[in-house]
Structures are given as C-alpha cells and as structure tokens.
Amino acid sequence: MGWVDAPVSGGPPAAAAGQLAIMAGGEAADVELVRRVMGLVGQRFTHMGPPGAGQLTKFVNQIIVGTGFAVLAEALAFAERAGIDAARLPEALAGGYADSPMLRHFYPRMVKRDFVPAGYARQVLKDLDMVQAVARELKAPLPMTSQAATLYRMAVARGCGELDAISIVKLYDKTPL
C-alpha cells in the first residue's frame, strides 16, 4: 500500500469551483495513481517530494498567507492614518510588485471591515503554531511567522477567533474590538 499526503489551498470558493491547489507528497508511482482523482477537485496538482512533502508545502503556504494577512492589516492601518484613500490601493498598486491575489481579494474586505468568516482567525493561529513547531524541529528560524502568530494570538484573545482571518486589522483600529 502506498501513501500520498495531499493538502489543499484555495478555501471554500476554490473547492466549490474545483480549482483547489493541491500539493502532494508520496512516491512518484503512488502520486500518479491518485492524480486523476485529485484533478476532480483541483486544477493544480503538484508532486512536491516523498511522503510528508505535501504537508510541508502546505506549511509554506500558511507562512505566506498568515504573514500576508498581517502585512495587509499593517499597510491598511498605515494608509488610513496617513489619510490616503486606502480603498484605492489595489487599483494603485495593480501590476506592480505589491499586487497579489491577497491584495485584490482580501484587502477590500479589510477596508470595509467585513469579517464574515471565509476562514477563521483561530485557524490561522493554529496553522502558524503548527508551522512553528515543525520549524523548531528543523532548527529553521521564522521571525516573521512568529510575529504574525503573536498578532493572531492577540486578536484571538481579544475575541476575534470566530471572525474571518482578516479581522487581524482590528488590532490597529483606534477603538479595537
């Protein structure tokens, strides 16, 4: 019997559309056996290495997403305090190096303070904590991830755990939470 670990990324919208990103770990022959089935739920199915490599790749995804939300929140807070039209930043930065799907899809919800959960702040904290545990085993320093986890820990402690992950921006509000 073979083993393939195949975590996904893209959230409920990508799942509903069959467009999840799937990162697989396993022996090449085993990965090929499941490739067709996995194609039903995702457009991208990438073999990342031996068993476990899929989950390690998912951890990389969580580092990027978790720290990305924290950076977007900080950028929004700066823009608002500076008095610029924060809502127009995705338009102003489109096509440049700061442009990204996170800026285009999540940042406008941050601006509107739309915290209806598509994913939960508590889940991001859980994911970042798991990443840090593995990083300690690997002796891989993750200072940015550590800082993002601290911010998420604060947000969850202040009641944002059941709100969307983008609710981390509430830490920067003049009257947070």
β pairing state of 4-5 and 8-9: unpaired
Cβ atoms 22, 10 nearer than 8 A: no
Joined together, the tokens standing for residue 173 give 């509000």
User: CA 93 to CA 90: how far, in whole Å?
Assistant: 5
Q: Which residues pair with 9 in a beta bridge?
A: 21
- 139 belongs to the catalytic site: no
Among the options 58, 112, 139, 170, which is catalytic? Answer: 58
Assign 1 to helix, strand or coil: coil
CB 150 within 8 A of CB 168: no
Strand (E) or helix (H) holding 109? helix 107-112
| Tokens coding 160 | 């944002």
Phi, psi of 98 (to 5 degrees): -80, -10
| Residues designated catalytic | 58
